[in-house]
Every structure is written in C-alpha cells, then in structure tokens.
Amino acid sequence: MAGTIANAWRLWKIARTLARHDALIPKEYAAALPASLKLLRRLLGSGRAQRDGRTPGERLSRALESLGPAHVKLGQVLATRPDIVGSEVAIALEGLQDRMPPFPTSEASVSVALSLGRPLDEVFATFEEPLAAASIAQVHRATTTDVPPKRVAVKVLRPGIEGEFARDLSTLAFAARLAERLFGEARRLRVVALIDTLAQSTMLELDLRMEAAAASELAERMQADEDFRVPEVDWSRTAARVLTTEWIDGIPVRDVDALRAAGHDPRDVAVKLMRTFLTQTLREGFFHADLHPGNLFIDREGRLVAVDFGIMGRLDAQMRRFMAETLAGFLARDYVRVAQSHYEANFVPSRHPVDTFAQALRAIGEPIFGRPAREMSMARLLQQLFDTTRRFDMQAQPQLLLLQKTMVVVEGVARSLDPDFDIWSASSPVVERWMLNRLAPETRLREAVAGVEVLGRLAQHLPQLIHTAEVISAMLVEGGLRLHPATTHEIVEAYRESARIMRFMAWLAVSAAAVGATIWVVF
C-alpha cells in the first residue's frame, strides 16, 4: 500500500507538471472536451504560463525534458507510437533532446576507479573533460597506459541514475496498469507492454556491459561487410558503469562539406547508410536503432562507422520475413501479396476480407509511387501502413515500431546527404538479395531442420500434456474444474485488495482535485 501511495503522489506531481506546460489537456482540444475534463483542466492550472505559440507536441517534449531522464526516454519511445499520441505529436517528440549538463570529471574519475577496481592513473594516462552528456551517461576522451598508448572513448554512468530510473519507472508502470483497468483503448494499445519495453531497454542501458556486448555482436555479424565497422571494445577497461571503446577519427556524416573535401561523395554515403541499415535488419535481425547524425562517421577508408549501442533492435525470423515480403510487395506494387503476408503472420484477423485489405493497401502505395524519387519515403509508407492496419484490428508490434522509428531517422540522414536520394533504388538490391537467399535450397533445408527440432522438443513434453488433458477432462465430466482451497482464498484476497486500491485511487483523485482547486483559487 505504501508503494501505491508513493506512486500515486508522484503521478499527481507528473500530471501537474504536464498541466503547467499545457501538455496534459492541451488548449487546442479544450472546446471539444466534456464539462468534467474542462473542470479538471482548470483545477490542474493547465497552460496558464503558456503563451509561446508552441504546438502540443513541442510543449509535451519540453515537459518531459523537465521531468527528468526516465521521462525523456518515455518520450523517445512515444515518438515511435503515433497510434497512441498521434502523428503530429510523434513527429515533435522525435526532436526530444537527450542532453543534460555534465557532472564533474572528479566524480567520473572516482566512479571509473571504483568500477574497474584500480586507481585511475593505472588505467588511463590522460582523462579529459566530458565531451557530451546525456540523461544516462557522459563521454570522456582518454589515453590508455598501454605501450604504445591508445586513444579511447570512455562512457561513464551518472551517479545515482539507477535509483532515479527505478523510482520513475515504477510510477509509469503504475499509471499504465491503472489506465488499462479503466480504459479499453489503453488495453488495445498495450500501454503496460509499452512501459515494460521501456523498463527492459533502460535496464539494459544502465549496465554498460550490455552495450559493450551489443557492439561486439554487431561487429561480429557485420565483419564481412566492407562498408561498415564498429569501434573495438576494450573489455579490460569496461564494467557495469564504465564502457571503453577505441576512439574514432572520422568525419561526421552531418558535415557534408568536409566529406566532399576528403573525397567522399555524399550520395554514395547515403546509399551506404540505407543498405547497411537494411542489411542489419533483414539479414541479421539485429540493428542499431539510434542512427542519428551524431552517431555516424566516415573513416579514412570510406567506411561507415557507428557509435553508441545503447539502443538496439531485434527482428525474429517471422518479422524479417514479414518485413521483406511487405517491402518486396510494395516495390512490385503487388498489394494482394502484401495483404496475404499480414494474414500469414496472423497480424490481421481473418474476418476481414483479403481483397478489402489489399484495396486499402493500394490506397497507400499508389500515391507514394506517383511522386518523384526525392519525395518517396519508406518511413512514411510504413507509418501509413500501421495507421491502416489499426483500422483492420492489427495490434501494435513493438519490433516493427522501433524499426519504423529508426527508418525515419535513417531516411532523414540520407536526404541530408542527398536531397534527391531514391530510397527505393537504394533498398531494392538488399531486399531482393534477402528474398533470393531465403528461397535458396540450403535455407529451406535449415528451416526444415529447425522445425523438426521444435517438434522434437514438443514431443518430449507430450506424455505430460496428455496426462494433464485427461485430468481436466475427468474433472469436467465429474462436475467442473476444482481449485485448491488455498488457491481460491488467494484469488478472493487478490480481488479484495484490487477493489481497495481502486477505491483508494478514487478517493485520492478527488482529494487531489480539491487541493488543485485550492491552489488555483489562491493563485
């Protein structure tokens, strides 16, 4: 109960902060609100200080930044969910800045020494002031004590960040569970799963060994690709709160003039970026999901180098097949094929006719293919696809939403390098190669072997499954399923506790509204 009270109080403070930024119940929607929400808006003091002309999405972005690191991360996740916040707000949240003032180098030095279990001067000959600071960690340039010394980048977690995230994520999870209890739309949008995804990804980010492992895995998977490389991890100088990698001497992809001066054609860099991303996605099912310009460089050999592996995406075999077949179908303008891939993946209920769904897909594809190459967007296509499938009762797929969000960023970087970038011409070879490889006999054989292995594992449990089915059948014949008395008691007690919490929350909401009204009247 104490945890519930603490979460409810923090949730109230979050609501007040959002209201002060006019981001909870924005003024643009006030006229269409019922009287109860208009009253709540007044009680919360929504937007009395907002006279700056910002859009609702921009105000939400600023409010989340003021709430702290966990809320910045939530905003970045919501940027991938226009089905929850709407397209305009999602676009505004894409610009959410994960920047914070740096903490003192002296604190970073102590943290590094404690994490590595050695004095700092035994590990690094030099350790410079921070170059960049974000919500979770900051980066320092350093040189090692090796002979000869090596230049490295050292990433250090913020002091106390684990506790801060744990508290905020607990409150967000509480809010999500409450929303799903009260609102059917929240259940359809799976907001609890959304917060769970945020919590899981954040917990991984808070252990820098996981980021090191992600970098190592991507390097291993892409080692045969001559156009891409990953900085080498220095495992002897890496721990849960410290990550050390080789320093990258490269040209940032955002510096188009410097790329040209060094003899690199920005148009080739754009194609290289798109094909590398699709190769990671389709061939490997493991992709860098934070490919903004600050994380991308071109080295002396003309290779694309990525840094910062805190956010990675994975696509299982089914999702990769679905993605490739969807892209291939749109490229061929075969909308029935695209529709069938949705049904084969069980994403769209069979009660919707395939031909009707294919007709809806044609309404997406034809306008896009009728535009000049520079105006054709794969990210826009995916977004419209997700908007349409929602109308056909397709549940949100977190893997695909992260992919779509990353595609938006990749497309933006590619077009900054080449305004006339033809995304379809750049993508076709990768998609077609993956499809051909998937249809190859050896691939089919591997899939068959994998299927046999799954059946073998299932067969091991078959006797127990048969026994369980016989017991349940006998109980049904004898008059119904019987629960153990202790189990029945626990169910009843859980229900009573749930009812108590809901009554308490109703009381708290009324009390909070009364406090808000008093504050509003006074000020």
Residue positions annotated with a catalytic role: 290
Is residue 165 within 8 A of residue 202, CB to CB? The reply is: yes
Tell me phi and psi for residue 251, to 5 degrees. Answer: -95, 125
* 3-state secondary structure at position 141: strand
Burial class (CB in 10 A: 0-12, 13-18, 19+), 315: buried
Q: Which of 278, 280, 305, 281 is nearest to 294 (CA)?
A: 305
Q: Which amino acid is at 116?
A: L
Q: Which amino acid is at 190?
A: R
Helix or strand run (H / E) with residue 402: helix 398-417
* Two tokens, residue 217: 């895995």
DSSP state of 97: -
Rg (CA), the chain: 26
Q: Which amino acid is at 272?
A: K
Give CA–CA dist 209/177, Å, rounded. Answer: 31
Q: What is the 3-state secondary structure (H, E, C) of 499-513?
A: HHHHHHHHHHHHHHH
**Beta pairing partners, 312:** 288
**Signed CA dihedral, 147, 149, 150, 153: sign only:** positive
* CB neighbourhood size of 405 (10 A): 25
* 3-state secondary structure at position 252: strand
* Two tokens, residue 265: 């054609």
Is residue 267 within 8 A of residue 316, CB to CB? The reply is: no
Give CA–CA dist 210/191, Å, rounded. Answer: 25
Is residue 317 within 8 A of residue 348, CB to CB? The reply is: no
* 3-state secondary structure at position 485: helix
* CB neighbourhood size of 135 (10 A): 23
**Beta pairing partners, 155:** 139, 243
Angle in degrees, CA 191, 194, 199, rounded to 5: 130
Is residue 141 within 8 A of residue 176, CB to CB? The reply is: no
* CB neighbourhood size of 44 (10 A): 24
Q: How many CA within 13 A on the CB side of residue 389?
A: 25
* Two tokens, residue 133: 């600071």
Find the helix packing angle between 423-439 and 398-417, rounded to 10°. 140
Tell me phi and psi for residue 305, to 5 degrees. Answer: -120, 130
